Amino acid sequence: MENLFHLAFPVHDLTAAREFYGGVLECEEARSSERWVDFNLYGHQIVAHLAPESTGIKAANKVDADHVPVPHFGIILSVDDWHALADKLAAKGIKFIIEPKIRFKGEVGEQSTMFFLDPSGNALEFKAFADPSLIFAK
């Protein structure tokens, strides 16, 4: 088995989380209880925990002229999958807080990126590198 990540994050409403992660992002739902739901996000386990007092963006940092929300999470996709997701999200009416774009254009670490919020105000970033060998380049 390859190494996978697990992320637990707060949501204000499990029904809204199911609609967003299951419906919009098309994540398969796994185990659940009255207080949490497991989802398969591109093969990784994310868990929406009912904790309304802990949701939302806490800060932002300037990155390449954008105000990047903190905290945030997401996946690094292939370029083709990134474009397909950006198109799918736009077609579903998702409002981007940072529109799909190229960051660090022409520099080491050039990447496609987009940010949007789930219904609880949690920020998600999905990105892609034309050259995956540069993901950790300095």
Q: DSSP labels for 67-118?
A: EEEESEEEEEE-HHHHHHHHHHHHHTTPPEEEEEEEESTTSTT-EEEEEEE-
Choose which CATH entry (3.10.180.10, 2.40.50.100, 3.40.50.880, 1.10.150.120) describes domain 59-134: 3.10.180.10
pTM of the predicted model as reported, rounded to 2 decimal places: 0.93
Superfamily designation of domain 6-53: 2,3-Dihydroxybiphenyl 1,2-Dioxygenase, domain 1 (3.10.180.10)
Residue 2 DSSP SS3: coil
Please write the tens of the pLDDT for every residue from 61-118: 999 889 999 999 999 999 999 999 999 999 999 999 999 999 998 888 899 999 999 9
Q: For 86, phi and psi rounded to 5 degrees?
A: -60, -45
Pairwise CA distance, residues 66 & 55, whole Å: 22
- Report d(CA 84, CA 49) in Å as an integer: 28
